[in-house]
Amino acid sequence: MNTIVDEVENAQDFDSILRLVKRVVEEKLGMRRAGLMLVIADAPPGVLAFHEVGSNAIVVNRRHLEGWMFGKSRAEKNSYIFVVLLHEYLHSLGILDEVEVRRLVRALVQEYFGPGHIATRLASGEPEMGREFIQGVYLGRPREPVLVRDFDTENLSYIG
């Protein structure tokens, strides 16, 4: 089995998955950036995640994240996170065209995960996957955003 697939499926946290996203992007596109933050926040139902141009934050919609995580295997959970972070990481690199980002995500995920993997199905935008995202989404009052600690720690240096 492909090492990226194994590493994604066994990753323990968001930072580990981001490292794999960065590795894939650097290997295939020769692009890289550091200094990102991850925020988990309630957003409208149609938004899985977003990156505000010029910022260093990726915001993942907690409503979808929580809905997707319920009852899923680690491989399914991590595949979802990988696809979402890959998409937003490409935006953070300055690729702003949504159609181009979706094309790149599909191509990269297909190449690394193969045709039958859940990550490939997520990246392809299959209609039944979209319905699963919308069902059961919490639509109540927005909760406080959460800044994920220890995210994008690869290039941090510490003064001791």
Question: Higher pLDDT residue, 3 or 155?
Answer: 3
Structure confidence at residue 46 (pLDDT): 82
What does the pLDDT average to over 25-40? 96
| 8 Å CB contact between 137 and 63 | yes
Per-chain mean pLDDT for the chain: 89
Q: Is 7 buried (19+), middle (13-18) or exposed (0-12) by CB count in 10 A?
A: middle
Structure confidence at residue 134 (pLDDT): 54
Q: What is the CA radius of gyration of the chain?
A: 15
Nearest in space to 48 (alpha carbons), one of 63, 35, 26, 38: 63
Domain assignments of the chain as residue spans, ordered by start:
3-147
Nearest in space to 148 (alpha carbons), one of 11, 14, 10: 14
| 8 Å CB contact between 92 and 39 | no
Could you read off the pLDDT of 41-77 as tens digits, one per residue? 999 888 899 999 999 999 999 988 988 888 899 999 9
pLDDT at 1 > cutoff 80: no
User: Coil, helix or strand for 2?
Assistant: coil
Structure confidence at residue 133 (pLDDT): 55
Could you read off the pLDDT of 65-111 as tens digits, one per residue? 988 888 899 999 999 999 999 999 999 999 999 999 999 999 999 99
pLDDT at 129 > cutoff 70: no
Q: What is the pTM for the complete model shown?
A: 0.89
pLDDT category at 132 given cuts 50, 70, 90 is low
